[in-house]
Amino acid sequence: MQNVLQQLIRLQELDTRLDALIEKLGDLPETVKTLEIQIRNEQEQNAIRRTSIEENAALISSNSVKVEDLKTKITKYKEQLFLVTTNREYDALTSEIEFNEQGIKDAEDQILQSEEENNRMNEAFGKTEKNLEDMAQRLEETRGSLAETQKATEEEKQQLEDTRKTLIALIPRNFMSVYQRVRKARNGLAVVPLMRDACSGCHNRVIPQKRVDIYKKNQVITCDYCGRFLFAADDSEEDE
């Protein structure tokens, strides 16, 4: 059992160091991920705006042509008014003129609406493009910082992970199961020393019989309160 305890102590040391290396990266990985998502979303929004701007431009063009066509018709109908000989013909031409004038009004309203919408979207498009430039620069800088930090810790991290794999193969499965469960539940700390007759993880006092067993080192003891593995403080020194 003493061997198992020493292996658990060593495993905790390795995992604590690996946690420290991960912590050294800080929020850089998450920042990179967030910036990538934000950039992708902004690009998609601008792609939608670009399509709408193009559609509005086409609508403005077609309505402008329509206005000119209707104006030409109105001019023609007005010229014909001087040639009519009956009230019916006069009323028919007047009705056509009014109908086409309303068509011009509708087309011009549509042109104005499309132009106003394009002005808004062009403004938003420009702001988004500026934001994209800023975010792209931040992303490049953050990726650089992340790569630099990862490079600085890569060799040590790989060594720790290789040692960890070898060590895990030596620890019985039932102890590994407890270790992983407690480590996950106790903020990464599953193996702690006995200090002043108490668990140094949760600071609850350990009953006398368990303290005796811990110092005898003839079995693996866990804390009754937090479930962490307990060892005598000098055990870690022996392992070294």
Asked if residues 229 and 221 have their Cβ atoms less than 8 Å apart, the reply is: yes
Q: What is the pLDDT of residue 171?
A: 94
Q: What is the pLDDT of residue 240?
A: 43
Residues 102, 30: Cα–Cα separation, whole Å? 58
Q: What is the pLDDT of residues 21-52, one digit of tens each?
A: 888 888 888 999 999 999 999 999 999 999 99
pTM of the model: 0.59
Residues 128, 194: Cα–Cα separation, whole Å? 58
Q: Which residue has the tokens 């800023």?
A: 134
Asked if residues 50 and 185 have their Cβ atoms less than 8 Å apart, the reply is: no
Residues 104, 70: Cα–Cα separation, whole Å? 7
Q: Which residue has the tokens 């003493």?
A: 2
The residues of the chain scoring below 70 in pLDDT are 1, 235-240
SS3 of residue 186 by DSSP: coil
Structural domains for the chain: 25-168 (1.10.287.1490), 173-239 (no CATH)
Residues 147, 32: Cα–Cα separation, whole Å? 11
Q: Which residue has the tokens 């601008």?
A: 46
Q: What is the pLDDT of residues 97-113, one digit of tens each?
A: 999 999 999 999 999 99
Q: What is the pLDDT of residue 25?
A: 82
Which tokens in the block code for residue 55? 């559609």
Q: What is the pLDDT of residue 197?
A: 92
